[in-house]
Structure 1
Amino acid sequence: MDSFEYNSNPSRVVFGSGTIKKVPEELSRANVSKPFLLSTPQQVSHIDLLKGVLGDVVSGVFTEATMHTPVEVTERALEQLKSSGADSIISIGGGSTVGLGKALSIRTGLFHLTIPTTYAGSEVTPILGETDAGRKTTRSDPKILPSAVVYDVDLTMTLPVGLTATSGVNAIAHAVEALYARNTNPVINLLAQEGVKALASSLPVLISEPSSQEARSSALYGAWLCGVCLGSVGMSIHHKLCHTLGGSFNLPHSETHTIVLPHALSYNAPKVPEAIKALASTLPGNEGDAIRGLNILLQKLKVERGLKALGMQESDIDKAADIAVSNPYWNPRPIERDPIRELIRRAWAGEEARADL
């Protein structure tokens, strides 16, 4: 066996059905009592639910969390947080809300408990991506990691089918890149394969049976494992491209990840045969071909395959390629502009991924 290093992230996880009722217990465990609540404008109902659980201890509420965590939004929330007298932060929602919670926590040092309602995985990573002046930057710090995560399957039962699919594929992307990460290790490989397997089996069920409690539970479990992968090892071309596209062209996060993933995998495939083999074992009906397996899964999920449908202009392809190659980063295959441009063009056009990049 090759030498490796493994670090586990010390967040506390509470998983189950109806677990939102355990939030007061988790706050008491952390010796905090005046939480500041965060959500997006679309998830105010979750705030109301949380208020019902917490009672009159809530110190304040901010419901303007936005995708890609714009710095100006964080600054507005920070001002309200400081004036509220809060001693803790609770974020409830998807990656946008979790990201805002992280941004506030790293700036204040306050205890951060998060309650995910999608499959983003951000809740178990020490990574924060923020957008300022049209550029998205990412940093990693153990202090960014939320201290506690409450997974309540019940809160995912009404997740729209479209977001269920793209959020789940976004989670799969974390595991895919973990399999060929420079600092991957046997533990993360096991988590990655188990996470992809759980999601690849449950997501197609949820397209036709969105109220399946069993499939919802399996998907949330898989998303947790894939998120752990994201938070434990380095990411490569897929995540770099998605940050470029999302931050620079304001494209929706999970939909962008869903479209780019099979193309990014096809770019790296020639250099990571063992990772491709491991991934293929988790995807049904692929005949040993992981790229084919992803194409089949996306067909089953009936997701959008082209960035142009998300609002990206054809004239942005060259700009995106320039940004993607402007800051060197590790990737199993060297980053070369021409094939990267072709990768982005195929993703823009909505073509199926193929192994000839």
Structure 2
Amino acid sequence: MSTPPAPSSMSFVHDTLAQRVVFDTGRAVDAAVEQAGPLGITRPLLISTDGTHAVAEAIAGRLTPAAHWRDAVQHVPRDIADAATATARESGADGLISIGGGSATGLAKAVALETGLPIIAVPTTYAASEATPVWGITEERTKTTGVDPVVLPKVVVYDSDLVATLPHDMAVASGLNALAHSVDSLWAPKSDPINRAYCIESARALATALRGLSGEGGREAREQALYGCYLSGVAFASAGSGLHHKICHVLGGTFNLPHAETHSVVLRHVAALNLPAVPGIADQLAHALGDDGGHAVAALNDLYREVGAPRSLAELGMPEDGIPEAVERVLAAVPAGNPVEVTAENMTALLTAAFHGTDPATV
């Protein structure tokens, strides 16, 4: 009789989301139009933001839009979400095509949440919202988020030409926002070996891309950034919101801070809090970021210096006297399973350091 195999210590449930991803540099308009047909989209509500209206108008020249919404705002204010939803219904839209960063994608999700309309997302930043079924709406200084498969875009069209005109500071902040999805998903409530693999590869691609974007990387760097961005979103969609995202949702909703820049600033500080408690993961992340010595936070600090990343909440407009309120709100939203117990003391210290832009201690 053969000896039965030892029971595996690996035990988890992983859901893979159904989504088509099209990488096609230079063909965003063609690709969006081609993908609309199989989804039955003939009269879309187009959603665009400053800098992307021309792409929306080019799509409108190939389809017959029900309407064109040009007023997407970060953090998706409730009144704008309601107005856009009313426009979709009144115009008889049969689908949504969003062109822009997280604000455009987020608004499309808010409309889809109420109408069930399918989304084609054409990202123009590295926000990664397009890869997740997570929605968020802000009302009375509070950002509420949720998960619903109906808001996951059916198709994502990535065209590196559309991110070529991003100002350098915005490209860096947006790329670090994507990196924050990867790092936070390493210890988020539903983290598992599959999404951790996505996280590490995403971190590698994004670190390489960010250095390239700050040099002479050109198209190759932009494509690597979009690739890393997508993986970060897939990981986040599976793992859920970790501590980093809970903090940033509080800061964004309460103080209306810029989304990508806030994620950029907070990332290093949450990493410095959690990584010492997960040394194996810290080693993997350090290697992905280009540091074979296992010093992940030091590698993050080096990356921030190399690419000229935003460093403090103060420079983003957060009031210092808002820290106690932020601490209270974060403590009410701490996710399960964070590697380190979150207390008023360590959260106050974290937000104070992030406010002043103090370099976190290295691992």
Gap change, CA 1:161 and 1:122, over 3 Å in 2? same
8 Å CA contact 2:101, 2:124 repeated in 1: yes
Q: CA deviation at 1:87?
A: 0.6
Q: Return the alpha-carbon distance in structure 2 between the equivalents of residues 200 and 41 of structure 1.
A: 28
- Equivalent of 1:68 in 72, 75, 97: 75
- Number of residue equivalences: 353
Aligned residue among 13, 24, 33 for 1:16: 24
Structure 2 contact 22–158 (Cα < 8 Å) conserved: yes
Describe the SS at the equivalent of 1:287: coil
**Residues 139-158 of structure 1 mapped to structure 2, 5 A cutoff:** 139-158=146-165
In the alignment, structure 1 residue 251 sits paired with structure 2 residue 251 = no
Does the CA contact (< 8 Å) of 1:130 and 1:138 recur in 2? Answer: yes
Matched, 1:4 2:6: no
| Residue of structure 2 in register with 1:84 after alignment | 91
Provide the rounded CA distance (Å) in 2 between the counterparts of 1:25 and 1:355: 49
Contact 1:286 1:292 in 2 (8 A): no
Superposed CA deviations along residues 233-255 of structure 1, whole A, max 9, x for unmatched, are 12221111100101000000000
Distance 1:304 1:179 in 2: 23
Written as runs of structure 1 = structure 2, the 5 A alignment for 1:1-357 is 1-20=9-28, 21-52=30-61, 54-55=62-63, 57-209=64-216, 212-285=218-291, 287-330=293-336, 331-355=338-362
Q: Given the superposition, is the C-alpha separation of residues 22 and 34 from structure 1 closer, same or farther in structure 2, using an over 3 Å criterion?
A: same
Letter in 2 for 1:114: A
Q: Tell me, in whole angstroms, the C-alpha distance in 1 between the residues paired with 2:334 and 2:182.
A: 22
For 1:276 and 1:49, the matched residues in 2 are separated by 45
Kindly report the root-mean-square deviation, in angstroms, between the aligned alpha carbons of the 2 structures: 1.5
Partner residue in 1 for 2:4: none
| Distance (whole Å) between structure 2 residues aligned to residue 163 and residue 113 of structure 1 | 23
Contact conserved, 1:286 with 1:296, CA < 8 A, in 2?
no
Deviations 1:101-131 (A, max 9, x none): 0000110011111101110100010101110
How many Å separate the matches in 2 of 1:36 and 1:48? Answer: 12
Shift of 1:325: 0.8
Secondary structure class of the residue paired with 1:281: helix
* Residues 1:105 and 1:271: Cα distance change in structure 2 (over 3 Å): same
Say which is worse superposed, 15-24 or 152-161, in terms of deviation.
15-24
Shift of 1:328: 4.4
Please, which runs of 5 or more residues in structure 2 have no aligned partner?
1-8
CA distance in structure 1 between the partners assigned to 2:359 and 2:333 by the alignment: 28
Amino acid at match of 1:34: R
* Secondary structure, aligned partner of 1:4: coil
Distance in structure 2 (CA, Å) of the matches to 1:23 and 1:327: 38
- CA offsets per residue over residues 189-217 of structure 1, 9 Å max, x none? 2211111111101111112337x111111
TM-fit CA distance, 1:320: 0.9
Counterpart residue type for residue 332 of structure 1: P
Normalised to the residue count of structure 2, the TM-score between the two structures is: 0.94
Gaps of 5+ in 1: none
**What's the CA shift for 1:149?**
0.8
Shift of 1:287: 2.8
CA distance in 1, matches of 2:362, 2:173: 23
* CA-to-aligned-CA distance 1:15-36 (integer Å, 9 cap, x gap): 1212321222211111221111
Partner amino acid, structure 2, of 1:4? F
Q: Which moved more, 1:21-30 or 1:326-335?
A: 326-335
Residue 228 of structure 2: SS of its match in structure 1? helix
Residues 76, 316 of structure 1: alpha-carbon distance in 2 compared, 3 angstrom cutoff: same
Residue 286 of structure 1 and its aligned partner are, at CA, apart by 6.3
- Runs (4 or more) in structure 1 with deviation over 6 Å come to none
Q: Identify the residue that residue 3 of structure 2 maps to in structure 1.
A: none
Q: Residue 320 of structure 1 aligns to which amino acid in structure 2?
A: A
In 2, distance between residues paired with 1:249 and 1:114? Answer: 28
Map Cα deviations across residues 23-56 of structure 1 (whole Å, 9 max, x no partner): 222111112211110012443233223324x24x
Is the 8 Å Cα contact of residues 246 and 334 (structure 2) preserved in structure 1? no
Question: Cα distance 1:80–1:184, how it changes in 2: closer, same or farther (>3 A)?
Answer: same
Give identity over the alignment, percent: 38
Contact 1:269 1:355 in 2 (8 A): no
TM-score, normalised to structure 1, is 0.95
How far the C-alpha of 1:221 sits from its partner, in A, is: 0.6
CA shift at 1:66, angstroms? 0.3
Shift of 1:355: 4.9
Shifted more, 242-251 versus 186-195: the winner is 186-195
Q: Which residue is equivalent to 2:6?
A: none
* Contact 1:121–1:224, Cα closer than 8 Å, also in 2: yes
Letter matched to residue 173 of structure 2: T
- Assess if the C-alpha contact under 8 Å between 1:265 and 1:291 holds in 2: yes
